[in-house]
Amino acid sequence: MSRNLRPARSLADELRARSDENLQELFTLRPDLLSPLPTDITALAARASSAPSISRALDLLNAWEIQVLEIIAVISEPVTLKSVKEIAGERAVAPYEKFVTLALIYMDEAEIRILNSVRDALGPEPAGLGPVGTGDQSRWRKKIEDAPSAAKAMLEKLTWGPPRGTVTDIKRPTSAVSWLMENQLLTPTDTHTVALPREVGIYLRGNRVHKEHFDIPPDYSSKNLSQEDVDSAAIGAALEILHHIEELLHFWAGEPAAALRSGGVGVREIKRASDELGLEEKYLIFIAELTYISGFIALHNEEEFLPTSSFDIWRNKSLEERWIEIANYWLGTSRVAGLIGKSERGYIAPLGPEIDRSSIAHIKKLALTLYGEIAPTAVDVGALAERIKWERPRRAFGSHHDFVHWIAREAQWLGFTGRNALTSFGKALLQGEPTIGMSALLPKEIDYILIQADNTAIAPGPLEVELAREMALIANIESKGGATVYRLTEQSIRRALDSGRSSDEIRKFLGKISKTPLPQPLEYMITDIGKRYGKLRVGISFSSYIRCEDEGQVTAILADRKLAHLQLRQLSSTVLMTEGDIYEALDALVDAGYFPALEDRDGALIARKHDKARAKSKPRPPRISSELAQPSEDLITAALRALRAGDKAANHRRSAPIVAGTPSETMGTLTLAIKSKATVTVGYADSDGGVSERVIEPIHLVGGILMAYDHGSDEVLRFSVSRISGVAIVE
């Protein structure tokens, strides 16, 4: 092994020599290097080669890049671009350049150096190859040809991995194993295992590292569509989900969903809501989750979920604003609604704590970007999953296909995609454009309804927000979609009266917005209910009471069997008393066909709110994400300036050389530094044997352990004094 004697370049040297642009590029690709800000280039190099940071960086590589990296890691030294290309071909150049930019490798003259931590991250058997062997190539190559057949078969088995084999006892090997070991074609790794040395493996693979090169990204496109068709299919879905969010929350405001003790809501609540709204359960669960991640519902008094005032604020925005808001929450969330439901680990509850997955936002963004690359061509979702697996092989896991299918389904429900292709407004949102042009695609809002003899009212298009809200109060909604079908019933009119509308107002409102004349029976009904409403009053004084000027009605109520459970007692010819709850009395009267109104102590009518229950707004559930926000350009520039300055200072400091001392000298200097609150430079042996230089502020020293603030990592760390090779106080 020939090694020249000039001092090897280190990663720190390489980074220090980089241009500003070059470093900026690095920080854009690996934002974790800036958080927190390293003090100088040495610290930056340490951070860049730390295992967690390397792991993040490798997560960004596609399948082909991983293969090229493996090739660099396994082929014999000296590794050069030429030797890599011999195995990987011309297509290895782009990955190679990317690795340099990412600081996974650096050049030492013409030789490629790969960071040890990158090697570690690739695992003990990269590309299924065994440990590095020691042996003279020329010797074993010849031997392979005249290997006995049993040995040959064994080699063949080990060639494409796994490169290990088990033997009963290494001391008493079979003849084939023994022959192979003698000829350095097998290496014992412990008493029961032998392995094929890496060089032998590559040779047996025909001077290849991988059986197949994944250098072509898999195709995932399906049908060609026009953007217009895609948008028009999606806009309906987008409108619908906005409606359904409101509907669900109105429903839960009236009948709050009980929270499970273990968090989230139970199957029954979901079933109830999906029956009530006539929606498929999976879709309903998704909507519930959307409202949760948007902060539109929150746990109230630890027992039930209620809408929050954030919901009310959102409701008053335009359709486009509303959609952008929830679409952004969906993009950023770490919650995976698809996981909800029965699983091997039991029931996973919606709005519960178990569905955060840190990588989902990243996969989602990648998926939508891939949608965008071929839009308006439709995506084959199965093939898309394969493509994502290729793009981010280290992120894909067992249920990867499920996750991608869920993303595709949710994107469709939201109207991000239509007919499995990205919409124009979805694309605009992804690209962060200020307006996404959704409004132009929305059907025009209308300001009228058509009332018919069967007491239905139809808005043949999206009704203006104010009108829609009023209609939803006065009438029950029977069908939604492009149009809305309302039904006016006694009960719905009473609800409006309860909310403080007068029958006159209701009639006028309907008369004003209906293009068709009000049917006479409807008008009659509204007037009739108005006349009856409020004659019968329910209030609370010393106990709940019912009063009515119409003595006949009082007598009838007293005699009514349906009301027997209220245990009414007559106080006077116009007043009855009940022991029960005032609302119980009200509901019982309504059920029995009467028209009671609630009054306060002064006899004034009180509006009874039907869907106004609200929880205090709480922060939205946290995003659990391994992704760091992309740092802004300004931030990177500032960071760069600070780094260069820190580096200069460190160079200056380093002029005071570290004195290698005896342990007692080291202890003395450290104790002094603690007393005088001085900063010191220490030589510290890390676990893989290297000695790094660190700038620290010692805090205290007990039992051979030093606690000190480390400038490089910006945190307080434990140092074992026995590993400190020397100390110098920084002046």
Partner 1 sequence: MADGPLIVQSDKTLLLEIEHGAADDCRRAIAAFAELERSPEHIHTYRLTSLGLWNARAAGLDAESVIDVLLRYSRYAVPHAILIDIAETMARYGRLRLETHPVHGLILSTTDSAVLEEVIRAKKVQPMLGKRIDNETIQIFPSERGRLKQSLLKLGWPAEDMAGYVDGQAHPIELAENDWKLRPYQRLAAEGFWHGGSGVVVLPCGAGKTLVGAAAMSLAQATTLILVTNTVAARQWRSELLKRTSLTEDQIGEYSGSRKEIRPVTIATYQVLTTKRGGVYAHLDLVDQHDWGLIIYDEVHLLPAPIFRFTADIQSRRRLGLTATLVREDGLEGEVFSLIGPKRYDVPWKEIEAQGYIAPAECIEVRVNLTDAERLLYATAEPEHKYRTCATTRTKGAIAKLLAEKHKDEQVLVIGQYLDQLDTLSTELGIPVITGDTPIKEREELFQSFRVGEINALVVSKVANFSIDLPEATIAIQVSGAFGSRQEEAQRLGRILRPKSDGRTARFYTLVARDTVDQDFAQNRQRFLTEQGYSYRIVDADDILIGDIEL
* Residue 619 Cβ vs partner 1, minimum distance, rounded to whole Å: 33
Q: With binding defined as CB under 8 A, does residue 480 bind partner 1? A: yes
CB contact at 8 A, 209 and 87: yes
Q: Do 343 and 308 form a contact (C-beta atoms < 8 A)?
A: no
Q: Minimal distance in Å, beta carbon 443 to partner 1? A: 5
**And the tokens for 148?**
């006995």
697 sits near partner 1 (criterion: CB under 8 A): no
For residues 351 and 329, give the distance between their C-alpha atoms in angstroms, rounded to a whole number.
Answer: 15
544-573 binders of partner 1 (CB under 8 A): 552-553, 555-557, 559-562
Residue 519 interacts with partner 1 (CB under 8 A)?
Answer: yes
* Nearer Cβ to partner 1 (192/531): 531
* Amino acid occupying residue 655: S
Segment lying near partner 1 (by CB under 8 A), choices 479-487, 614-622, 634-642, 715-723: 479-487
Q: Which residue, 233 or 727, is less far from partner 1 as judged by CB?
A: 233
Q: Do you find a cis peptide bond into 256, omega within 30 degrees of 0?
A: no
Which span sits near partner 1 by CB under 8 A: 252-260, 520-528, 680-688, 698-706?
520-528
Contacts of 237 (CB under 8 A, 6+ apart): 412, 413, 414, 415, 418
By C-beta, is 233 or 367 nearer to partner 1? 233
Cβ atoms of 483 and 460 within 8 Å: the answer is yes
Residues binding partner 1: what is the number (CB under 8 A)?
Answer: 44
- Answer yes or no whether residue 455 interacts with partner 1 by CB under 8 A: yes
CB 214 within 8 A of CB 89: no
Out of 37, 114, 483, 667, which residue is the one contacting partner 1 (CB under 8 A)? 483
Structure tokens at 384: 């898309």
State which of residues 215, 240, 410, 470 lies at the interface with partner 1 (CB under 8 A). Answer: 240
User: Please, which residues have CB within 8 angstroms of residue 225's CB and are 6 or more apart in sequence?
Assistant: 376, 377, 378, 419, 421
Q: Which two tokens stand for residue 113?
A: 């150096």
Chosen residue from 113, 532, 614, 694 binding partner 1 by CB under 8 A: 532
Judged by CB under 8 A, the chain residues 153 through 192 that form the site for partner 1 are none
Q: Which of 452, 625, 626, 671 binds partner 1 (CB under 8 A)?
A: 452
Q: Of 26-34, 76-84, 160-168, 516-524, which part binds partner 1 (CB under 8 A)?
A: 516-524
Sole window of 1-9, 266-274, 447-455, 621-629 interacting with partner 1 (rule: CB under 8 A): 447-455
Contact 335, 354 (CB under 8 A): no
Residues 6+ apart with CB under 8 A from 583: none
**Among 31, 161, 460, 661, which residue sits at the site for partner 1 (rule: CB under 8 A)?**
460
Contacts of 723 (CB under 8 A, 6+ apart): 684, 685, 686
* Token output for 101: 């930019």
Q: In angstroms, give the least distance from the CB of 284 to partner 1.
A: 13
282 lies in the site for partner 1, by CB under 8 A: no
Cβ-based nearer residue to partner 1, 80 or 455: 455
**Does position 421 bind partner 1 by CB under 8 A?**
no
The region of 70-78, 186-194, 367-375, 476-484 touching partner 1 under the rule CB under 8 A is 476-484
Binding segment for partner 1 (CB under 8 A), chosen from 28-36, 149-157, 445-453, 712-720, is 445-453
Of the pair 6, 561, the CB lying nearest partner 1 is at 561
Window 317 to 336, contacts with partner 1 (CB under 8 A): none
Residue 234 or 586 with smaller CB distance to partner 1: 234
Indicate whether 516 belongs to the interface with partner 1 (CB under 8 A): yes
- Per-residue contact string for residues 580-599; x = within reach of partner 1 by CB under 8 A: -------------x------
Q: How far is the C-alpha of 422 from the C-alpha of 220, rounded, in Å?
A: 13
Vertex 48: Cα angle to 42 and 49 (nearest 5): 95
Q: How far is the CB of 529 from partner 1 (least distance, A)?
A: 11
Place of tokens 């059907």: 443
Measure the CA–CA gap between 54 and 31, rounded to whole angstroms.
12
Between 235 and 728, whose beta carbon lies closer to partner 1? 235
Residue 236 and residue 229 in contact, taking contact as beta carbons nearer than 8 Å: no
d(CA 645, CA 648): 5
24 binds partner 1 (CB under 8 A): no
Stretch that binds partner 1, among 21-29, 66-74, 236-244, 378-386 (CB under 8 A): 236-244
Q: Is 419 in the site for partner 1 (CB under 8 A)?
A: yes
447 contributes a contact to partner 1 by CB under 8 A: no
Gap between the Cα atoms of 723 and 216, Å rounded: 48
- x/- mask, partner 1, residues 375-414, rule CB under 8 A, reads -------------------------------------x--
On whether the CB atoms of residues 40 and 646 are closer than 8 A, the answer is yes
Cα–Cα distance measured from residue 723 to residue 666, given in angstroms and rounded to the nearest whole number:
11
**DSSP result, 328-384:** HHHHH--B-GGG-EEETTEEEPTTSSS-B-TTHHHHHHHHHHHHHHHTTS-B-HHHH
User: What angle do helix axes 281-293 and 267-277 make, rounded to 10 degrees?
Assistant: 110
Residue 630: name the closest of 51, 32, 46, 101 by CA: 32
Closest by CA to 116, choosing from 6, 190, 10, is 10
Q: How far apart are CA 29 and CA 666, in angstroms?
A: 40
Nearer to partner 1, 428 or 450 (CB): 450
Rounded alpha-carbon distances, angstroms, from residue 207 to 36, 83, 157: 44, 11, 17
User: Nearest to residue 266, comparing CAs of 209, 346, 327, 360?
Assistant: 346
Q: Which stretch binds partner 1 (CB under 8 A): 52-60, 360-368, 519-527, 683-691?
A: 519-527
Preceding amide of 517 cis, omega within 30: no
Candidate residues 89, 162, 511, 521; the one interacting with partner 1 per rule CB under 8 A: 521
Q: Which of 38, 418, 539, 596 binds partner 1 (CB under 8 A)?
A: 418
Which CB, 96 or 533, lies closer to partner 1? 533
Q: Is residue 242 a contact residue for partner 1 (CB under 8 A)?
A: no
CB of 232 to partner 1, least distance (A): 4
Q: Choose one: 7-15, 195-203, 452-460, 640-648; the region binding partner 1 (CB under 8 A).
A: 452-460
By beta-carbon proximity to partner 1, the closer residue of 50 and 412 is: 412
> Which residue lies nearer to partner 1 by CB, 29 or 525?
525
For 404-461, what is the HEC assignment? HHHHHHHHHHHCCEECCEECHHHHHHHCCCCCCCCHHHCCCCECCEEECCCCEEEECC
CA distance linking residue 660 with residue 681, whole number of Å: 12
Complex with partner 1: residue 556 or 717, whichever CB lies closer: 556
Chain contacts with partner 1 (rule: CB under 8 A): 232-237, 240, 278, 412, 418-419, 443, 450, 452-456, 458, 460-461, 479-483, 485, 516, 519-521, 524-525, 532, 552-553, 555-557, 559-562, 593
